[in-house]
Amino acid sequence: MLYSKLFGKTKKNSKEYDSTNATLLIKGGFIDQVMAGTYTYLTLGTKVLAKIEQIIREEMDKIGNEVFMPSITPASLWQQTGRFETVDVLMKTVPANKFALAKSDAEYVLNPTHEEVVTPLAKKFITSYKDFPFALYQIQTKFRNEPRVKSGLLRGREFRMKDLYSFHTSEEDMKKYYEKVKEAYVKTFSRLGIGKDTVVALASGGSFTDDFSHEFQTLCDTGEDTLFYDKSSSVYYNREVAPSLAPEVKYHDEKMLPRQDVVGEGIIGVEELANFLKIPVEKTTKTLIFETDDGRVIAAAVRGGYDVNEDKLRKVARCKAVKLASEKTVKTVTKAEVGYAGILDLPKEVEVYLDESVANRTNFETGANKTHYHSINVNFGRDIPLPKQFFDIKISKRGDLNPKTKKEYQVFAASEVGNIFPLYTKFSEAFDYKYIDREGKEKPIYMGCYGIGSSRIMGIIVEKYHDERGIVWPKAVAPFQVHLVGLDLKDESIKTKAHEVYQALLKKNVDVIFDDRVETTAGEKFSDADLIGIPTRLVVSKRTADKIEFKKRTEKKTELLSLDDIIGRL
Amino acid sequence: MLYSKLFGKTKKNSKEYDSTNATLLIKGGFIDQVMAGTYTYLTLGTKVLAKIEQIIREEMDKIGNEVFMPSITPASLWQQTGRFETVDVLMKTVPANKFALAKSDAEYVLNPTHEEVVTPLAKKFITSYKDFPFALYQIQTKFRNEPRVKSGLLRGREFRMKDLYSFHTSEEDMKKYYEKVKEAYVKTFSRLGIGKDTVVALASGGSFTDDFSHEFQTLCDTGEDTLFYDKSSSVYYNREVAPSLAPEVKYHDEKMLPRQDVVGEGIIGVEELANFLKIPVEKTTKTLIFETDDGRVIAAAVRGGYDVNEDKLRKVARCKAVKLASEKTVKTVTKAEVGYAGILDLPKEVEVYLDESVANRTNFETGANKTHYHSINVNFGRDIPLPKQFFDIKISKRGDLNPKTKKEYQVFAASEVGNIFPLYTKFSEAFDYKYIDREGKEKPIYMGCYGIGSSRIMGIIVEKYHDERGIVWPKAVAPFQVHLVGLDLKDESIKTKAHEVYQALLKKNVDVIFDDRVETTAGEKFSDADLIGIPTRLVVSKRTADKIEFKKRTEKKTELLSLDDIIGRL
């Protein structure tokens, strides 16, 4: 392709967009922002996206059947799973004006995911045990109702996605297939050029299971996720599920001091409180009151500096959901205004869940359950009975230990590139989808779902592979393999030679873009080539005489080679 | 691919769906209906669609840059062209529930076409005369608010489309490029296997021009369009624009009879009226009263048996739009109830446009402009002044002549597969998109748009290429090139041989599907193969011994060949 004919040239301005990937992709002429979180893929971007999706398709074809489901579907399907009223990213379509309304007043869901479509589809076609397991996937545009998003291609109102769904006659079979998908994903990410930095992390399995789901995370300094890596077991955990043991407190009080209730009106945050009380933050305790979905009121406490992990709390409290208690409930339970809750003297019917970080401290602080008061020099055994059990109900943070190995985690920033999620019977039950076993009996169907965001991956690759001059595309997803730069093109003989080299490369099926602009300076052309980030740069100019300059985007070294040598290398 | 592992088997029931293409594609396991006008493409269907789109892409890459614009865009873009309030197929998105509303209350247009996106996009990047002309295209899912549609893949609420937009510095350049697109389309349809039956027809250019647009129409008995072909000029016209000369009336009255006003209360349709009056339908006259967009009231009359073509009328009346007059206006103008309008004694301020089919009749009928009365034996020159001019303002029908050649049209049913449409400055003006000429002056930009419905083409190919046993895919778009049928597979040696043949074909990169089902009868397998419609069928069975049976879907003849011979033929 001729660069002069390409739609979407590089931008020279120094503007920074909402993220590194947006800045480099917009400046490089890959994408154009239509509104926050919504982009047009220009020609270069369309090529990269197509390459990413083709690699995904080839790997998915080995483990599933490609299909293509509609984006708009009847709301009734979403009502059947109860998600029509609850999913906060769900959009629906309505007629845009009175003429459209007169034509048809129907409303449809604009799918952000396709469990509600694929389950009834599978049910129509496959019910005999003989035809299990099977898996369906598609590569498609998805829609999410998002507020103003600011992370380029990493998160959008409209994005590209591969979603795969599998169907099984048993939990074991689901888990077996699950491992197959893991392998296929490893292969996919490796082919996409991000394999060596992509790890599998354990993540939350959702409210209907205690199992983990799995995320494929690409380690990346600008990643929005935090991974906790336990070296001795070689396991990565997403922060949301990382089991954690707080490091021992650093202070050491030999003796118990007398408990005191101190007035501290309006002093609520632990930092502020520690300052006010002139004690280390570690001595403070954060107590929160929750209501459970089964109608209980519970208290949860973590050491100052930590936060309560609601997912962990939900599990230890053996319920499906917890939510922060209403102001009214807090007042009733603590007999105080909000902000002074503590673990002292709570009513008997309130179960108290103490994080292990709260234990092993002398003379600690806790809310006094008395308006404006904080209790200090509190001690288990003396002021509060030592509980039978401490739990892990905190959000892990840097410095925490793995509870099993007692070793400190390594902590990494990362970006999710894929996820695999056991659905068990959640959707098959909602659609009353059962299989008929050998004896003719109806049995439950187990499902899994497995996503890869193809447009997101384009963004992550840029976040990960760039330098101060621009993008550095992995070979497999680069928009072209060769960037041929013609210089001194006002000189007819050089111009002829450059076009000849271009034609020769095309003839050899080399995927090449030729910067044939006549008026542009060498400096601009080189900086454009670096910004666009194609793996190999070739230069034809007066200086290169009968040779061609060869340079890799990842290296500084240039070489003068013959056309044949170059074709040999490519 | 193994047929046993394919998702979406053939259906045995005898149900007929809403159209031939839906019936064959659903029964063949290509698509599944989610709701009226909305389908899931199963694996076979996904393959066909991908092949169609890849051919389109390859041809479009020769004349434009591929991009990929978002499906949802700000309503403000559509407001800028005034189409937000007027396009009756326009849908918008809104949050689906209260949680979604809390997250973001933004509404977006779900694009049925992309002029409103591509024009501002082009404006951002290209304004210098040096960079014109250029063209952008995309292949994408489009959305239309349609009432219950019943034509399979031919029309849908959600469908696939290639849309190309071109930008020019002059009308001449637009027209030059327009011819280039025509050539590219001819090549595309030829590669898709429908070239020999696809013609270019003249169609309406829309309300902003007297020019024609062009439709690519595939001749097809079940087509929803009607083409009028003038053999001597080799021109196809869409019925909506075909110029027409009515054949001479068959009756012959030598003498003028006295005009009479006959009571015929409630007799309104021309057939009923002709019966009642015992005259041929040709003697009747249909008169309609219209209001124009510039505030005039006009009358239009055609011979009984014809209808008024509003697009033709609009042009001869030199206005932008006509609409049937309100009941009140009709009553005022004709001084009668609705149903008795005629061309007699209309008020002077009402311009009367008479179709040429009305001329050259003696003793004809017309509404009497008097409630319940029809006038018969009316004659020009005696009862009504002979008008200075007759027009062509009728919808053409079979039997009509081309006015220039005076030859009768051939009439064909056809389905539109593509269209090319000159947009002139309609959208560039709406977005104030101008180019800067050599002298630094701002000048208007001319645009064209060019569509091909890729999913629609899949349906049309099936409408066109099928027989009583099933689909007959053109080679280029068939889901596989070879359908290998294994029979007698309970016999281990045959099973082994069949699988060996399958592997050998795969090794030679033959695009093959292998019906490896063990329990299915030969009859079922053959009828499935015919229904699915892959170009070449191979059979391995006891009967074929060390040979393989070779049969084309289009032929009855079978041959026994060696594997090498077969690979040679493929």
What residues of B are in contact with residue A72 (Cβ under 8 Å)? Answer: 38, 143, 157-158
Task: Establish, for the pair of chains A and B, how many residue pairs have beta carbons separated by less than 8 Å.
Answer: 217
Tokens encoding A349: 């019917």
Could you tell me if A149 lies within 8 Å of chain B, comparing CB atoms? no
Residue B256 gets the label, from left (phi > 0), alpha (psi -120 to 50) or beta, of beta
Which residues, 6+ apart, have CB-to-CB distance to B198 below 8 Å? B186, B189, B216, B217, B218, B219, B417
CA distance B559 to B162: 41
pLDDT digits (tens, 9 = 90+) for B97-152: 999 998 889 999 999 999 999 999 999 999 999 999 999 999 999 999 988 778 89
Give the end-to-end CA distance of chain A in Å, rounded to a whole number. Answer: 17
Looking at the domain assignment, is residue B60 inside a domain? yes
Domain of A535, in residue numbers: 480-569
- Domain match, A60 and A188 both: yes
CB contact under 8 A, B74 and A34: yes
Interface test with A, best of B26, B47, B92 (most A CBs within 10 A): B92
Give the other-Cβ count within 10 Å of A380's Cβ.
17
Residue A103 has its nearest CB partner, among B67, B86, B147, at: B147
Nearest to A126 by CA among B9, B44, B525: B9
- Domain match, B28 and B155 both: yes
Cβ B324 vs Cβ B292: under 8 Å:
no
Give the other-Cβ count within 10 Å of A4's Cβ.
15
Confidence at residue B289, expressed as pLDDT on a 0 to 100 scale: 97
Residue A46 has its nearest CB partner, among B43, B66, B110, at: B66
Residue A71 has its nearest CB partner, among B85, B88, B141, at: B141
pLDDT digits (tens, 9 = 90+) for A98-121: 999 988 899 999 999 999 999 999
What residues of B are in contact with residue A96 (Cβ under 8 Å)? Answer: 75, 78, 84, 87, 90-92, 109, 145
To which residue do tokens 């899994």 refer? A448
- Exposure string over B250-281, b if 16+ CB within 10 A, otherwise e: eeeeeeeeebeebebeebeebeebbeebebeb
pLDDT digits (tens, 9 = 90+) for A327-386: 999 999 999 999 999 999 899 999 999 999 999 999 999 999 999 999 999 999 999 999
Residue B90 has its nearest CB partner, among A49, A96, A145, at: A96
- Domain match, B288 and B337 both: yes
Cβ A363 vs Cβ A397: under 8 Å:
no
CB contact under 8 A, B102 and A109: no
pLDDT digits (tens, 9 = 90+) for A275-305: 999 999 999 999 999 999 899 999 999 999 9
- Domain match, A124 and A60 both: yes
Three-state DSSP at A160 gives strand
CA distance A528 to A12: 9
- Domain match, A511 and A457 both: no
Beta strand extents in A314-409 (DSSP E only): 322-324, 351-354, 364-367, 373-378
Q: Using the 3D structure, point to which of B378, B400, B431 is the last residue of a domain.
A: B378
Residue A84 has its nearest CB partner, among B35, B75, B97, at: B97
Residue B267: pLDDT band with limits 50, 70, 90: confident
Cis link prior to A403 (omega < 30° from 0)?
A: no
Confidence at residue A207, expressed as pLDDT on a 0 to 100 scale: 63
Could you tell me if B476 lies within 8 Å of chain A, comparing CB atoms? no
CA distance B528 to B3: 11
* Distance, CA of A375 to chain centre: 41
CB contact under 8 A, A97 and B87: yes
Could you tell me if A39 lies within 8 Å of chain B, comparing CB atoms? yes
What residues of A are in contact with residue B65 (Cβ under 8 Å)? Answer: 5-8, 42-43
CA distance B246 to B395: 10
Give the distance from residue A48's alpha carbon to the nearest chain B alpha carbon, in angstroms. 11
Nearest chain B residue to A130 by CA: give it: B4
Cβ B65 vs Cβ A26: under 8 Å:
no
To which residue do tokens 């309560």 refer? A308
- Domain match, B361 and B328 both: yes
Residue B207: pLDDT band with limits 50, 70, 90: low
Residue A99 has its nearest CB partner, among B47, B75, B88, at: B88
Cβ B358 vs Cβ B306: under 8 Å:
no
Looking at the domain assignment, is residue B225 inside a domain? yes
Looking at the domain assignment, is residue B250 inside a domain? no
Confidence at residue B263, expressed as pLDDT on a 0 to 100 scale: 94
Three-state DSSP at A548 gives strand
Cβ B486 vs Cβ B515: under 8 Å:
yes
- Domain match, A174 and A61 both: yes
Could you tell me if B82 lies within 8 Å of chain A, comparing CB atoms? no
Which amino acid, one-letter code, is at B547? K
What residues of B are in contact with residue A124 (Cβ under 8 Å)? Answer: 32
Cβ A28 vs Cβ A152: under 8 Å:
no
Scanning A100-119 for CB atoms below 8 A from B yields: 100, 102-104, 106, 108-110, 117
Distances (CA, A) of A90 to A110, A315, B103, B563: 7, 27, 10, 54
Mean pLDDT of chain A: 94
Mean pLDDT of B283-309: 96
CB contact under 8 A, B90 and A95: yes
Q: Up-side HSE of residue B354: CA atoms within 13 Å toward CB?
A: 20
Q: Where are the alpha helices (DSSP H) in B82-139?
A: 98-103, 115-125
Nearest chain A residue to B63 by CA: give it: A5
- Domain match, B358 and B492 both: no
The continuous run of DSSP H or E covering B457 comes out as helix B454-464
CB contact under 8 A, B96 and A109: yes
Nearest chain B residue to A7 by CA: give it: B65
Three-state DSSP at A6 gives coil
Scanning B41-70 for CB atoms below 8 A from A yields: 41-43, 45-47, 49, 65-70
Interface test with B, best of A88, A107, A109, A117 (most B CBs within 10 A): A88
Q: Up-side HSE of residue B50: CA atoms within 13 Å toward CB?
A: 19
Nearest chain B residue to A120 by CA: give it: B34
Could you tell me if B28 lies within 8 Å of chain A, comparing CB atoms? no
Mean pLDDT of B486-499: 96
Looking at the domain assignment, is residue A255 inside a domain? no
Could you tell me if B2 lies within 8 Å of chain A, comparing CB atoms? no
Looking at the domain assignment, is residue A163 inside a domain? yes
Q: Report the CATH number at residue B320.
A: 3.90.960.10
Which amino acid, one-letter code, is at B496? T
CA distance A83 to A94: 19
- Domain match, A60 and A189 both: yes
User: The complex's ipTM?
Assistant: 0.91
Could you tell me if A477 lies within 8 Å of chain B, comparing CB atoms? no
pLDDT digits (tens, 9 = 90+) for A423-460: 999 999 999 999 999 999 999 999 999 999 999 999 99
Maximum separation of any 2 CA atoms in chain B, in Å: 95
Looking at the domain assignment, is residue A311 inside a domain? yes
Q: What is the DSSP string of B138-157?
A: EEEEEE---SS--SGGGS-S
CB contact under 8 A, B71 and A7: no
Residue B158 has its nearest CB partner, among A46, A70, A94, at: A70
Could you tell me if A311 lies within 8 Å of chain B, comparing CB atoms? no
Cβ B139 vs Cβ B56: under 8 Å:
yes
Q: Where are the alpha helices (DSSP H) in A288-361?
A: 310-316, 327-334
Q: Where are the alpha helices (DSSP H) in B317-425?
A: 327-334
Counting residues of chain A whose pLDDT is more than 90, the rounded percentage is 88
Give the distance from residue A480's alpha carbon to the nearest chain B alpha carbon, in angstroms. 14
CA distance B485 to B513: 9
Residue A209: pLDDT band with limits 50, 70, 90: low
Looking at the domain assignment, is residue B81 inside a domain? no
Looking at the domain assignment, is residue A452 inside a domain? yes
Cβ A156 vs Cβ A21: under 8 Å:
no
Give yes or no for residue A208 having a pLDDT over 70: no
Confidence at residue B269, expressed as pLDDT on a 0 to 100 scale: 86
Strand partners, B260: B376
Distances (CA, A) of B360 to B287, B380, B393: 17, 9, 16
Cβ B306 vs Cβ B390: under 8 Å:
no
Could you tell me if A73 lies within 8 Å of chain B, comparing CB atoms? yes
Scanning B122-141 for CB atoms below 8 A from A yields: 124-126, 134, 136, 138, 141
- Domain match, A370 and A452 both: no
pLDDT digits (tens, 9 = 90+) for A454-501: 999 999 999 999 999 999 999 999 999 999 999 999 999 999 999 999
Q: Report the CATH number at residue A419.
A: 3.30.930.10
Residue A40 has its nearest CB partner, among B9, B121, B143, at: B121
Cβ A518 vs Cβ B130: under 8 Å:
no
Give yes or no for residue B548 having a pLDDT over 80: yes
Q: Report the CATH number at residue B506.
A: 3.40.50.800
Q: What predicted TM-score, i.e. pTM, was given to this entire model?
A: 0.91
- Domain match, A105 and A115 both: no
Give the distance from residue B99's alpha carbon to the nearest chain A alpha carbon, in angstroms. 5
CA distance B164 to A7: 13
CB contact under 8 A, B94 and A91: yes
CA distance B76 to B80: 6
CB contact under 8 A, B68 and A45: yes
Residue B88 has its nearest CB partner, among A67, A100, A117, at: A100
Residue B209: pLDDT band with limits 50, 70, 90: low
Cβ B460 vs Cβ B218: under 8 Å:
yes
Residue A70 has its nearest CB partner, among B40, B49, B146, at: B40
What residues of A are in contact with residue B5 (Cβ under 8 Å)? Answer: 65, 134
Nearest to A220 by CA among A452, A460, A24: A460
Give yes or no for residue A18 having a pLDDT over 90: no
Nearest to A246 by CA among A425, A399, A445, A28: A399
- Domain match, A166 and A185 both: yes
Number of compact structural domains in chain A: 4
Interface test with B, best of A46, A68, A86 (most B CBs within 10 A): A68
Mean pLDDT of A251-265: 92
